[in-house]
A = this chain, B = another copy of it.
Amino acid sequence: MVRIKRERWQNEFSEWYNELIEAAEIQDKRYPVKGMNIWMPYGLKIMRNIEAFIHKEMERTGHNEVLFPALIPETEFQKEADHIAGFEGEVYWITHAGVNPLDVRLLLRPTSETAMYSMFSLWIRNHADLPFKVYQIVNVYRYETKHTRPLIRVREISRFFESHTAHKDFDDAERQIREDLEIFDRLAKFLALPYIVSKRPDWDKFPGAFYSLGAEVMMPDGRTLQIGTMHNYKQNFARAYNIKYETETGDHEYAHQTTFGMSERLLAAVMAVHGDDSGLVLPPTIAAIQVVIVPIPKKDSPYDVVAYARGIMEELRNAGIRVYLDDREEIRPGRKFYEWELKGVPVRIEVGPRDVESGEAVIARRDLLEKESVSREEVVERVKKTMDSIMENLYTRAKEFLESHIKPVETLEDAKRVFEDRKGIVEIPWCGEESCGLEMEEILDAKMLGIPYPEEAAKIEGKKCPHCGREAKFIARFARTY
């Protein structure tokens, strides 16, 4: 049995990730605009499989797909004060068309609230129009000043999912947030990604939101990556964009709104969480190629391994499995193994003359780097079972990793020690005061992710905020974040 190595993965994660994104042909980073990258066919196929799942979930939950223009007039953008303040430093401005200056400057959407909501005010008239649920997957733009990193921190988010909903009251908006969390949970299971949800502190909520939730995964280096957000806007945007509806009693009320956002960071999380020193390890659910078959011909052997491999390929394809037969003659089997392991193909099948002779095939699984011999008739059945087992193993392994990286502490010294080792998330009792929160962020050189959601009040009985000594009202999570 080969031992899986995760040394570089953990200790040199940043280099591991930056190399792999190109070596595994996910994206090409050489596009001549900083923070904007090119989706390569292999990476895009994986992302499309993630998107297909999202589209299905949207259909299941009655969200309608729309597509808004990517350009927003400055005049629309300026309607919600907090929102402007939050984004104005990082928007791209279009000032000219051809050689002429524009009368009204246009900006590239950093997110679509200000593009959508003046239309919502035309579309939503009556309580019968509610709940109103739409979504789109589009490109958005943010002039990030921090260090950029493919899929994680980019200036063009090219696969940005955003759903926008409107409701008759706060309760129905809360029901929507619960639905978003359920959708997110199903998606995370589909990606074998364990995660935590935190309610962001007020100073870090989405610009214009009443409250924000964020879902995080644990990266190999102990930093967290936000991969999903849900916001309850209350009536903040509805007031700014005049989104009113007629109630059953003939009154006119502002709608309550929510949004739910995700992006190509989902793929970054999959790469980071499941990978190892040999490269990617893709969940079979989203792998562009679920099974690669490598024939291992031998000179002077009477057995036609390629024909045998082709037979297996056809059987797997007919069973609905995404299979690829790597029959390139100029490349040696060992080199092929290396390539497909790097690209994270979940299952490899090897067939040599001996397998043909004995009516068998070798099945190798990418997650454990283990092999087994199975009889020819069992191949399809065994491949399916192996893929199920990979899903389970990836999830379990990642869950253990996540859980072992969440440390409850009661003092700032203990918290600091956790971060010195880059060991993940600390949970600290907190009085709930913004000043204490911000000062603890400063002391720990970490970000407050927020309080566990849904709140677990039980944990704080009798605990003190380590910064001010007052009674704790919450458990606050801190982490170094991407």
Interface of A toward B, CB cutoff 8 Å = 28, 30-33, 36-41, 44-45, 48, 64-73, 75-76, 88-99, 106, 108, 115, 118-119, 122, 134, 139, 141, 143, 156, 158
Contact = CB atoms under 8 A, between A and B. Distances in A.
A88 B94 CA distance: 15
Nearest to A68: B38
Given A32-B73, A76-B32, A67 B39 contact: yes
Contacts of A88: 98-99
Contact of A139 (B99, B134, B139): B139
8 contacts: A37-B69, A39-B67, A45-B65, A88-B98, A90-B98, A91-B97, A92-B94, A94-B94
A438 B73 CA distance: 40
Contacts of A64: 41
A71 B36 contact: yes
A85 to B, nearest CB: 13
Q: Which 4 A-B pairs have the closest CB atoms?
A: A41-B64, A97-B143, A39-B67, A36-B69
Nearest to A154: B69
Given A89-B99, A94-B108, A97-B90, A158 B36 contact: no
A31 B98 contact: no
Contact of A69 (B31, B41, B67, B99): B31
A66 B44 contact: yes
B119 A71 contact: no
Nearest to A98: B89
Contacts of A37: 69
A391 B54 CA distance: 32
Contacts of A40: 66
A66 B39 contact: yes
A119 B30 contact: yes
Contacts of A94: 92-95, 108
